[in-house]
Amino acid sequence: MFRQAENKVKIEGILAETDLKYSSFQKEGSDVEAIGGSIKVLVDQPINGVDTVLEVPVYMFSTKYTKAGKLNPAYESIERVMKEYMSIAATGSRDLADKIRITNGSIRMNEFMGQNGTLVSQPRVYASFVSKATGEFSPCATFNLEFMVSRIAREVDRDGVEVDPPRLNVEGIVPQYTAPSATVMNVDQVPMVALAPSVIDAIEQYWEAGKCFKASGRLNFSSKTEEVIENVDFGEPQKTYRTINVSEFVITGGSQAELQGDFAWEYDDIKAGMAARRARLEEKKTATNTSKKTPVQHGTKGVLDLGF
């Protein structure tokens, strides 16, 4: 049995929008009733010292009945949000919308093939239970995560020049839930970023590819508008604007010492899990009749070479 990583997301904010529906699917020749979709949560919190308005998408799904045939508590919770909770979109007002709390969400990767045949890999937040925020209301969108470091690298622009202000990209291999009977670990490769200079320095000093650590941080699901200046052959330059959507897990702290003993994962188990993940992605590529390969990063300290 493989140990599942600590993977916890906490969100406290205002319900901005709901998109939840009933559904059903076939399993072993029978119809299975379910409910699912997504909600968006409005959260005001600082990101690297800058007050930021977030709209965090949270994905939800549950079958109506458990394996024992009882009504699934997660189904009841999602249905309650769909039927009873009031959102900003429904009321037209932040003041009239419900304040909600998610205490046990998790991070998973949504990976699929795009229309052009390239792999699309997006981090998502999932949750099964949502409650109304009672008592003290403290808006936040935070995470705590355990992982094996796969890659550490300063972010550079198209010309290979380090961006300013500096950004440190960290990829962590996160062991997800794996069935007790499984022989290969189920893993996700989760991208994170460090922005604060002190955090960047600590990670570069203490973390290393192939070692296991803990990180805590803040979700940054927001948007920003950038001004673009286009020079013309003569006359005034053309000024346009573009909106950029941001989906980041910003590391604000973590463990200095690596996880060891029962709290760490064996390199060979992680490697086998990554190989299984790669095989699933290759199947998706084959299904879309493309043979394009994803680039592999190689290195010593900053990059974990898993052999493919």
Q: Is residue 299 part of a domain?
A: no
Q: Which residue has the higher pLDDT, 111 or 83?
A: 83
Q: Is residue 300 part of a domain?
A: no
Q: How is residue 203 written in tokens?
A: 């990670």
CA 26 and chain centroid, separation: 28
Contact 83, 1 (CB under 8 A): no
Percent of the chain with pLDDT over 90: 77
Range name among 15-24, 102-111, 237-246 with the lowest pLDDT average: 237-246
Residue 171 host element (H or E): strand 168-175
Looking at residue 185, which CATH number applies to its domain? 2.40.50.140
How many domains would you assign to the chain?
1
- Phi then psi dihedrals of residue 232, to 5 deg: -120, 170
Q: Are 45 and 218 in contact (CB under 8 A)?
A: yes
- pLDDT at position 297, please? 44
Residue numbers of the domain that contains 179: 7-287
CA 292 from centre of chain: 25
Against a cut of 0.75, is the pTM above it?
yes
Position 306 in a domain: no
Residue 243 lies in a domain: yes
Q: What is the pLDDT of residue 161?
A: 95
More confident residue, 3 or 234: 3
Q: Is residue 302 part of a domain?
A: no
Q: Is residue 147 part of a domain?
A: yes
Running DSSP on this structure, what letter comes out for residue 188?
Answer: E
Q: How far is CA 90 from the centre of its chain?
A: 27
Flag whether 87 is in a domain: yes
Query: Is 182 in a helix, a strand, or coil?
Result: coil
Residues for the chain: how many in total? 308
- Which residues 6+ apart lie within 8 Å of 6 measured at CB? 144, 145, 146, 214
Q: Can you tell me the mean pLDDT for 128-146?
A: 97
Per-residue pLDDT reduced to its tens digit, 203-253: 999 999 999 999 999 999 998 777 778 887 787 888 888 888 999 999 999
